[in-house]
Structure 1
Amino acid sequence: MVSFSALLVTLTAAIGSLAVPTNSTGAAELLQARGGTPSSQGTHSGYFYSWWTDNAAQATYTNLNGGQYSLQWSGNNGNLVGGKGWNPGYNGRVINYSGTYQPNGNSYLAVYGWTRNALIEYYVVESYGSYNPSSAAQRKGTVSCNGASYDVLSTWRYNAPSIDGTQTFQQFWSVRNPKKQPGGSISGTVDTGCHFRAWSSFGMNLGSSHNYQIVATEGYQSSGSATITVS
């Protein structure tokens, strides 16, 4: 494991791949559920962080002061995700984020987390690059949170990597529509309670025990950079 005394994480191998909704037509078959063992996770400057990579891209994740992190990746190869937040998550947290987000290709900027009892992987996607994750999952409806409209979706993952090893579990999604445009400065607020209540109204119930809850930057066979502050 890489030492964090210099606040720098470099690539180490792990299993898994980027999480996106998939459908029976295979339209998103190149993108599999992200899970398994992270390359590194822990606490830094009062926040939980998680950094995961399949070690195929050239990438550097750096923990900065407070809730800030930076990520640069290149090579148009591999899967990676990193971010800061909290562990455990909370079903009523109002999360603020700000910074810069400049993807080139397939990438997300999202609130990302897991629950147990039941095992659920969830996303509130604020912005994305070339791939719209709402194009390949079952649409349940829409919700308005913090003055913005989101598509609500769900899908199942079968025998896929998770925080508890290979499991079958659901993914829950809120995808901002229209998305916040990437390519420069970005900021916003995510009221997780608003999304979680909407999901419940569509019969999408999170588990009773929260695992981590972060503002994540993800990339798949792409390049880009992000510097994000979470609070």
Structure 2
Amino acid sequence: MKMSKFKKVISGTVSALMIASSIPTVASAADQQTRGNIGGFDYEMWNQNGQGQASMTPKAGSFTCSWSNIENFLARMGKNYDSQKKNYKAFGDITLNYDVEYTPKGNSYMCVYGWTRNPLMEYYIVEGWGDWRPPGNDGENKGTVTLNGNTYDIRKTMRYNQPSLDGTATFPQYWSVRKTSGSANNQTNYMKGTISVSKHFEAWEKAGLDMSGTLYEVSLNIEGYRSNGSANVKSISFGASPDTQTDTTVTTPADQGDNGGGMNFGGFGGDNGGGMNFGGFGGDNGGGMNFGGFGGDNG
């Protein structure tokens, strides 16, 4: 999907009114997307083919969303750094604090999400999921890291000749996925915590992953694939937060005695590897988030 710049999307009168009044955005058209900025927070909702029922109500630093009978659905809010064209290290210690009521009913997850450019890379820091742990059994194991009291598996996956922020491209995906989900399926999960985003980036570098690109965005992201669910993101904030349980030591696969696995990631485990071609907060040439299905029946 080809998209215009984020700033262009929010320049129209209709978008401005929507931002001012926080009117729920309801999916009704093919590949419906709604983007905006409210109170200094960039947000976006995406619903593939406008299937089923989906909505997002954004406010400054918070939003609610729900979805049912969808193909792929995404709602996210955070900060877009693209105009500054700087590496993540230039922004100091980026931390994201969240307070979320998350109710997955099937295949869904809650994560921090974003991109870098030059080189292009898509990333995920996964805090909780419904009935499927991404990225399944696939992926190249890069070790583990313990941050903010939780241990995460570090993995690298690849996307080949797929839509991205910069048109069709081949690019890696980096993952930090909690060993134990912060959520359970078919119930409301009260999730509150801090994600030391920059520390994850540092851990990926220590694990041999290339973090030399310019930071595009850092967002709290709620997603669903062929499922139902809802979330009340009560607050999102950026900045320092007390953290007495941080260990930035990366345990490599060699230390673990684990050779990892190769991966051809069709994207969150869909049957046919279809799915999200998502332009991520309005990149120059669109494309963006490319899940091959976000966890199908056999994921």
User: Shorter chain as normaliser: what TM range?
Assistant: 0.7 to 0.9
Aligned counterparts of 1:154 and 1:56: Cα–Cα separation in 2: 31
Instruction: Identify the residue that residue 209 of structure 1 maps to in structure 2.
Output: 214
1:141 deviates by 0.7
Alignment of 1:80 with 2:36, yes or no, is no
1:198 deviates by 0.8
TM-score (norm 1): 0.84
Alignment of 1:185 with 2:179, yes or no, is no
* Number of residue pairs aligned between Structure 1 and Structure 2: 206
Instruction: Identify the residue that residue 283 of structure 2 maps to in structure 1.
Output: none
Aligned counterparts of 1:193 and 1:209: Cα–Cα separation in 2: 13
AA of the residue aligned to 1:100: E
User: 1:99-134 deviations in whole A, cap 9, x for unaligned?
Assistant: 200000111100000110010000000001111114
Alignment of 1:13 with 2:21, yes or no, is no
1:207 deviates by 4.3
AA of the residue aligned to 1:13: A
Q: Which runs of 5+ in 1 are unaligned?
A: 15-37
Alignment of 1:50 with 2:50, yes or no, is no
Aligned counterparts of 2:36 and 2:151: Cα–Cα separation in 1: 33
TM-score (norm 2): 0.65
AA of the residue aligned to 1:137: G
Q: What is the root-mean-square deviation in Å for CA atoms of aligned residues?
A: 1.7
Identity level (%): 38
Instruction: Identify the residue that residue 154 of structure 1 maps to in structure 2.
Output: 156
More helix by share: 2
More strand by share: 1
1:226 deviates by 0.2
Q: Which moved more, 1:98-107 or 1:86-95?
A: 86-95
Structure exhibiting the larger radius of gyration computed from Cα positions:
2
Residue 199 of structure 2 is aligned with which of 194, 197, 216?
Answer: 194
Instruction: Identify the residue that residue 29 of structure 1 maps to in structure 2.
Output: none
Aligned counterparts of 1:200 and 1:88: Cα–Cα separation in 2: 20
Aligned counterparts of 2:183 and 2:151: Cα–Cα separation in 1: 15
Q: Which runs of 5+ in 2 are unaligned?
A: 1-8, 83-87, 238-299
Matches within 5 A, 1:112-127: 112-127=113-128
